[in-house]
Chains A and B, each alone.
Chain A
Amino acid sequence: MKKIKRFIVTRAKGFKEWFKQRTVTERIGFCILFLIMLMVLISFFYLPYDPTKMDGTAKLKGPSPSHLFGTDNFGRDVFSRVMSGLQDTVIIALGIVAIGAFFGSVIGSVTGYIGGLFDEAVMRINDAMTAFPSMLLALVVISVWGAGKYKVIIALGIAFIPSFVRIVRGEMLKLKDADYVDSARLMGVPTFRIIYRHIFPNIMPTLLSAIAVGFNNAVLAESGLSYLNIGVTPPEASLGSMLSDAQGYLLNAPWYALAPGFVMIILILGFSFVSEGRTK
């Protein structure tokens, strides 16, 4: 018991130290992300209203204590819809970045380390893929395959791989001839271990900031697709699809469009604040 307590105390102290070292922007960024993740977690268990429940008596009502962000054209509670939309948006974006970053770093680090003809071939394909904007690539997949949450994750996830390959490979090329890598080779460290224990920790900072940037791009791309009604399909709603529904009521019920829009801005801002601190 004592051990656990001491562990927690030292960890908390370490966290405090770590937090003190961050810049102000970074601290704000972390706070925003923490709050958003908290909201997403809560939204799994509790929402003030059922986001799909319609209420004919309360159509397009302005913000009030009972409906924090007002109601939409079907009388649904916008706050609850934003919460559940945020949840979908975050999950989809995380899925996209996870696919992109994982495959991107595996392919990028191996091809960068090996080099030669293999590298040449991989990069050719990679370049051809980056020639497509990720949005277009996802459009191709979806136009053939149909829309849907998981299809969006896979389509955009694949579209995000090339940029991670490029970043990780670039770092790999820079680092693989470092003296400390030669030194590790002289120690008799096997190639696999050199890549993942010696070089990869040094790529990590770059990769982390690429992940933060990638997360933002994923949110933007997903919301773009959903806005065009070819991403998430109703009744599920991400922040993007809510915006497209709300645009028609801009004149009478601006809160309907502004609420999801601003939540999205804050989400992206949180990540870009954090990633900016990382790059410095």
Chain B
Amino acid sequence: MKYFIKKTVSMIITLLIVSFLMFLVFEIIPGDAAVSKLGTEATPEQVERYRESMGLNDPVPVRYARWLAGYLHGDFGTSTKYERPVAGLLSDKLTVTLFLAVESFFFFFFISIPLGVLVAKYSGKAFGRISHLLMQIIMAITSFFTGILLVFIFGITLKMFTPYRFVAPGDSFLGFLGCLFPAAVAIALPKIATVVRFLKQSVTSEERQDYVRTAYSKGASSNRVYFLHILKNAMIPVTTILGMILAEVMAGSIVIEQVFNLPGLGRFLVSSIGSRDFPVVSAIMLYMAAVVIIINNLVDILYHVVDPRIQND
């Protein structure tokens, strides 16, 4: 409990630091918002009036507090390009990103864990070696090239899906999930390879532990030893990596959305960077950073639940 409170406090502090940095980067550094709004021909009086009305003359901490309060109330500012509230622009895109995340994480989770244990168990045999090499090759492929390959092989050559098609969730929810699937696979594949490798390493080092010998000496079968005794221990170091992956996936894959032409947050972020639409950029980036920080901290807390050895500290 004490740990939980401590962790929450430190999480909030980190969030504040990050948000302050964001504020600095996007509100202060880009230069005088009044000049960029009104153009260089504006008279000094006009600029001054604008600054006064927007509160740009207040000291930085006051502006930060106002900015932060706005964020907490769901007011992320106004897009300079679309001249509409950012919050409204984001909601559709968030749906796409979140569903893509959930789909790819499920796909990733249910393949990587059993596969990792099996690869370790048969590490000396042909199955283990081949899948190990396969994992290495998959890891060497950039996620967007995986996407391109998927489009090329399954979309264009085998015609198993229509590339670059998007179905809005309102039209057909299943169709929506279906059109996300190739992208979800492209996101999941390299992550499967990462976790399989880590889990294999973790299982291999657990294999050598004395308790494994004890389990065998009780007459337990090797499947029981691997999936009951070893897996539970081997998962402890892997939890952190799982958390990092979950965070990364939830934050959205900027590149994959681009490859599959999906209207998610990442693609919007890239186009907003192109048009220097800073209110949108800062809102999306803050979302991504916050997701990563919150999930990582939750995983740290979970870690303490999983490992009985650190429970009492």
Q: What is the interface of chain A, defined by CB distance below 8 A to chain B?
A: 127-128, 131-133, 135-136, 139-140, 142-144, 216, 219-220, 223-224, 227-230, 240, 243, 247, 250-251, 254, 257-258, 261, 264-266, 268-269, 272-273, 276
B68 at the interface (CB under 8 A from A): no
**Contact in complex: B255, A224 (CB < 8 Å):** yes
Q: A136-B285, A136-B288, A273-B136 are in contact. Are A250 and B152 (CB under 8 A)?
A: yes
Which A residues lie within 8 Å of B289 (CB)?
A: 131-132, 136
**Contact in complex: A268, B140 (CB < 8 Å):** yes
**Contact in complex: B248, A133 (CB < 8 Å):** yes
Which B residues lie within 8 Å of A139 (CB)?
A: 254, 269, 273, 285
Report the separation of the CA atoms of residues A247 and B255 in the bound assembly, to the nearest whole angstrom.
13
Contact of B136 among A131, A143, A228, A272 (CB under 8 A): A272
Which A residues lie within 8 Å of B144 (CB)?
A: 223-224, 227, 243
Interface centre among B141, B144, B269, B270 (most CB of A within 10 A): B144
**Contact in complex: B142, A223 (CB < 8 Å):** yes
Name 24 A/B residue pairs within 8 A (Cβ), A-sorted.
A128-B14, A128-B17, A133-B292, A136-B251, A139-B273, A139-B285, A140-B22, A140-B25, A143-B273, A144-B26, A144-B30, A220-B142, A223-B142, A224-B143, A224-B255, A227-B142, A247-B259, A250-B151, A261-B142, A261-B145, A264-B142, A265-B137, A269-B137, A272-B140
Nearest 7 A/B pairs, CB to CB: A268-B140, A269-B140, A261-B145, A143-B273, A131-B293, A265-B140, A224-B255
Interface mask (B121-140 → A, CB under 8 Å = 1, otherwise 0) = 00000000000000011011
Which A residues lie within 8 Å of B259 (CB)?
A: 247
Which B residues lie within 8 Å of A135 (CB)?
A: 254
Measured between C-beta atoms, what is the minimum distance from A212 to chain B in Å?
A: 12
* Interface SS, B side: helix
Besides A228-B270, A230-B274, A276-B136, 6 new A-B residue pairs in contact (Cβ under 8 A), listed by A number: A136-B289, A144-B29, A220-B142, A224-B144, A269-B137, A269-B140
Report the separation of the CA atoms of residues A127 and B142 in the bound assembly, to the nearest whole angstrom.
26
Interface mask (B211-251 → A, CB under 8 Å = 1, otherwise 0) = 00000000000000000000000000000000000001001
* Interface SS, A side: helix
Which B residues lie within 8 Å of A273 (CB)?
A: 136
**Contact in complex: A250, B258 (CB < 8 Å):** no
Q: Which residue of B lies closest to A127 (CB)?
A: B14
Which A residues lie within 8 Å of B29 (CB)?
A: 144
Report the separation of the CA atoms of residues A271 and B288 in the bound assembly, to the nearest whole angstrom.
30
Measured between C-beta atoms, what is the minimum distance from A50 to chain B in Å?
A: 26
Which A residues lie within 8 Å of B185 (CB)?
A: none
**Contact in complex: B145, A243 (CB < 8 Å):** yes
Measured between C-beta atoms, what is the minimum distance from A135 to chain B in Å?
A: 7
Report the separation of the CA atoms of residues A258 and B25 in the bound assembly, to the nearest whole angstrom.
38
Report the separation of the CA atoms of residues A131 and B136 in the bound assembly, to the nearest whole angstrom.
26
**Contact in complex: B156, A250 (CB < 8 Å):** yes
Which B residues lie within 8 Å of A131 (CB)?
A: 14, 18, 289, 292-293, 296
Q: Which residue of A lies closest to B29 (CB)?
A: A144
Measured between C-beta atoms, what is the minimum distance from B154 to chain A in Å?
A: 12
Which A residues lie within 8 Å of B26 (CB)?
A: 144
B281 at the interface (CB under 8 A from A): yes
**Contact in complex: A265, B136 (CB < 8 Å):** no
Q: Which residue of B lies closest to A260 (CB)?
A: B145
Which B residues lie within 8 Å of A228 (CB)?
A: 254-255, 258, 270
**Contact in complex: A227, B152 (CB < 8 Å):** no
Measured between C-beta atoms, what is the minimum distance from A27 to chain B in Å?
A: 15
**Contact in complex: A216, B140 (CB < 8 Å):** yes
B148 at the interface (CB under 8 A from A): yes
Which B residues lie within 8 Å of A133 (CB)?
A: 248, 251, 288, 292
Report the separation of the CA atoms of residues A251 and B163 in the bound assembly, to the nearest whole angstrom.
11
Which A residues lie within 8 Å of B145 (CB)?
A: 243, 261, 264-265
Measured between C-beta atoms, what is the minimum distance from B157 to chain A in Å?
A: 9
Interface mask (B243-281 → A, CB under 8 Å = 1, otherwise 0) = 000001001001100110000000001100110101001
Measured between C-beta atoms, what is the minimum distance from B208 to chain A in Å?
A: 14
Which A residues lie within 8 Å of B140 (CB)?
A: 216, 265-266, 268-269, 272
Measured between C-beta atoms, what is the minimum distance from A72 to chain B in Å?
A: 15
**Contact in complex: B281, A143 (CB < 8 Å):** yes
Q: Which residue of B lies closest to A219 (CB)?
A: B142
**Contact in complex: A224, B251 (CB < 8 Å):** no
Measured between C-beta atoms, what is the minimum distance from B124 to chain A in Å?
A: 14
Q: Which residue of B lies closest to A223 (CB)?
A: B142
Q: Which residue of B lies closest to A276 (CB)?
A: B136
Interface mask (B273-313 → A, CB under 8 Å = 1, otherwise 0) = 11010100100010011001100100000000000000000
